[in-house]
Structure 1
Amino acid sequence: MRGAFTARTGRLRRSLTMAAAGIVIVAVGSCGSPAGTPLPTVVPARQATSAITPPADGVPEHIVVVVFENKGTGQIIGSGKAPAFDALARQGALYTRSYAITHPSQPNYLALFSGGTQAVTNDSCPHTFTTMNLARQLLDAGRTFTGYAEALPRSGFTGCTHGRYVRKHAPWINFTNLPATVSQPYTAFPSDFTGLPSVAFVSPDLCDDMHDCPVATGDRWLAEHLSGYATWARTHHSLLIVTFDEDDSSGANLISTIVTGQGVAPARVSDRIDHYTVLRTIEACFGLAALGVAAARTTLPQVCR
């Protein structure tokens, strides 16, 4: 199946090319289709044939990115422990070769948000940067960005920890070229999804992101908090990107990444991707220049080409 976000007469050209059936993002093992049949491999773009109806300006209305913690793909997709992740994968694109950048957590968040690790090699706090980042790009382009962190005590809080909140998982707080208002507690995440910013990053707390708690906890949080948005996005020209910061250091840093939303057909995609690929894709969706290492990446296959 082929979908396209197309903007004409000086507008940006985007395309979403899909397979006829499959799963999105990273998974080890077979998830199966809703009917229990095997999922086919994604077809090359030149073989795709059909299209979706694009939004008026060819740009997604909203993109929500949620980052979970410290689990390899084999611990999630097809493991029998994460039915919400499996269900989401059946609805969208599963990238079976999605990799984190490094260990530990913090450099991966910075890579995803700013196109580089900003020379950070550990989870130390605090850090401050003045460099360009995704949120600043969006604001400069007349778009909007909000980072929603669970257990953040209040908007603009700059402390390193508060209960189960940690700043190292909220990279937007480190950049002094952003207004404090881009940082919000997760309780501010709107129930009316039309009130979402152009791009939202969501950081669950240390338990709900699976850092300190089992897979089942994070899976339940995903089902309770974002399944509604995932359903809504499929009919409102919007996207949900679910990924992980890193694996549990027991493997090759292969992580689960899932993309679902309007125009994203079920597909299993074997292209190698990483956090920089995800950043490059979001930038491409909104016509922004690629930051740092993201400039050396292409967009996610099947999303905002």
Structure 2
Amino acid sequence: MTVKRLTVVLAAVVTLGVAGGAYALQHGPGNGPDQSAGRGPDPVPAAVTAAAVPRPDHVVLVMFENKKYSSINGSSSAPYFNSLAAQGAKFTKSFAITHPSQPNYIALFSGSAQGVTDDSCPRTFTGKENLGHQLIAAGLSFTGYSEAMPSDGYTGCSSGTYRRKHNSWVDFDNVPAASNLRYSKFPTDFTTLPTVSFVTPDMCNDMHDCSVGTGDTWLKAKLDAYAQWAKTHNSLLIVTFDEDSGTSVNQIFTAFVGQHVKVGSYAETINHYTVLRTIEDAYGLTPINNAASATPITDIWQ
């Protein structure tokens, strides 16, 4: 082969490689809104997958309780949930991991239910990896905010309308007490938020003991200001549920709202491990436990 012909061939190979990489970064690994349920995307290198998830300045995740997807989606009792989802990405095939509540909270935070199958308290995990520890070890920050918790750093199982079973971060000995705060400490200056925040309403406002309308009103009053701010400040709000109302389907309502979120309904199948993996990819963290085999959400970003 002549030198001239070799040069042409090499140039073509480089061009194809760059184009392919650019497509993967722009479109993600083929996990789009039209993907059929249960069909996973083709494997892609970890570096490409991570780059396909933007890095928000702040993520706030709020978890509600025990309502199936159809009880929220399109419901006249949940006008704000539906209005919020219309401002971002609504997932029409989002599922919890199991029943009852507690193992779902633990699974979303650590990529595993850690063998927990009930709501018994207390649960203590020694040296188990989790999102809070990962973030802090990477020089980032995590705080969990629990409504009605009687004091910062509280480790008791219950107090009034607070329940530890809905506070997964307190179960892990490598998450400092300083990361376990009352919801009253949630800042009004959103620039002072930690990198990632988890928010747990009390037993009424999370819909466990009260109506869908009660939770809808609470979400609008407490987090709409952050949702609107996030859309212009490189930040993200995730609204989801721990589980459905106890059915074998376990389908839940999940929505992402933020500056880099493309508005629309997305039909790929996701679960708590998917959400955890997406947050980990956003910050370049090594995915843990079942999050390692989950496909991150890459098709909703702009």
TM-score for the superposition, normalised by structure 1: 0.81
Aligned counterparts, 1:66-105, within 5 A: 66-105=62-101
Q: Contact 2:239–2:254 (CA<8 Å) still a contact in 1?
A: yes
Query: What are the Cα deviations for residues 93-113 of structure 1, in whole angstroms up to 9, with x where unaligned?
Result: 011100000000000000000
Report the Cα offset of residue 43 of structure 1. 6.6
Aligned to 1:106: 102
Q: Contact 1:281–1:303 (CA<8 Å) still a contact in 2?
A: no
Quote the RMSD (CA, aligned, Å). 2.0
Q: Contact 1:17–1:303 (CA<8 Å) still a contact in 2?
A: no
Report the Cα offset of residue 302 of structure 1. 2.9
Aligned to 1:274: 271
Q: Is structure 2 residue 295 aligned with structure 1 residue 298?
A: yes
Q: Is structure 2 residue 153 aligned with structure 1 residue 156?
A: yes
Aligned to 1:172: 169
Aligned to 1:258: 255
Query: What are the Cα deviations for residues 136-155 of structure 1, in whole angstroms up to 9, with x where unaligned?
Result: 00000000000000001111
The change in CA–CA distance for 1:78 and 1:295 in structure 2 (over 3 A counts) is: same
Aligned to 2:15: none
Secondary structure of 1:75 counterpart: helix
Secondary structure of 1:209 counterpart: coil
Report the Cα offset of residue 251 of structure 1. 5.2
Partner Cα separation in structure 2 for residue 109 and residue 264 of structure 1: 24
Aligned to 1:53: none
Aligned to 1:235: 232
- 5+ residue gaps, structure 1, are 1-13, 19-40, 46-57
Q: Is structure 2 residue 118 aligned with structure 1 residue 122?
A: yes
Report the Cα offset of residue 303 of structure 1. 5.0
Q: What is the count of residue pairs matched by the alignment? A: 258
Report the Cα offset of residue 79 of structure 1. 1.4
Partner Cα separation in structure 1 for residue 177 and residue 27 of structure 2: 37
Aligned to 1:137: 134
Q: Contact 1:15–1:304 (CA<8 Å) still a contact in 2?
A: no
Percentage of matched positions with identical amino acids: 53
Report the Cα offset of residue 267 of structure 1. 1.1
Aligned to 1:60: 56
- 5+ residue gaps, structure 2, are 1-23, 36-40, 42-53
Q: Contact 2:260–2:301 (CA<8 Å) still a contact in 1?
A: no
Q: Contact 1:15–1:302 (CA<8 Å) still a contact in 2?
A: no
TM-score for the superposition, normalised by structure 2: 0.82
The change in CA–CA distance for 1:189 and 1:16 in structure 2 (over 3 A counts) is: farther
Partner Cα separation in structure 2 for residue 293 and residue 43 of structure 1: 24
Asked which structure has the greater CA Rg, the reply is 2
